[in-house]
Amino acid sequence: MTQDAIQLLPLSENQHAAWLPLWRGYQSFYKTDIPAEVSAVTWSRLLDPKEPIGGALAWDGPTAVGLVHHAGRLQPGPESQAGSRRGT
């Protein structure tokens, strides 16, 4: 895994299977067990554009290797409008 290979992309509805193991790993790290029903609500809220939270997955090729949940919605920055820093 190299820094250039990692892409951070907003969550999408079809990525639940990639998100869930990372979410469970987060819980394990913090020695907590969030009920499945609460995790289902969390997933729904992360995808709902009306909610003040969001999330993204870090991808190394086809594999999700990290997650981030954030307050507020991500807005495209200037570099996303002009192409990425790698010139793509």
pLDDT in tens, 23-73: 999 999 999 999 999 999 999 999 999 999 999 999 999 999 999 999 976
Confidence check: pLDDT of 19 > 60: yes
Domain ranges of the chain: 8-75
Residue 28 contacts residue 66 (beta carbons within 8 Å): no
Confidence check: pLDDT of 81 > 80: no
Amino acid 88: pLDDT: 38
DSSP SS3 for 45: helix
Give the CATH superfamily of 8-75. Answer: Gcn5-related N-acetyltransferase (GNAT) (3.40.630.30)
Residue 56 contacts residue 10 (beta carbons within 8 Å): yes
- Which residue stretches of the chain are H helix? 16-29, 36-47, 78-82
- Rounded Cα distance between 71 and 88, Å, is 29
CB atoms < 10 A from the CB of 55, how many? 19
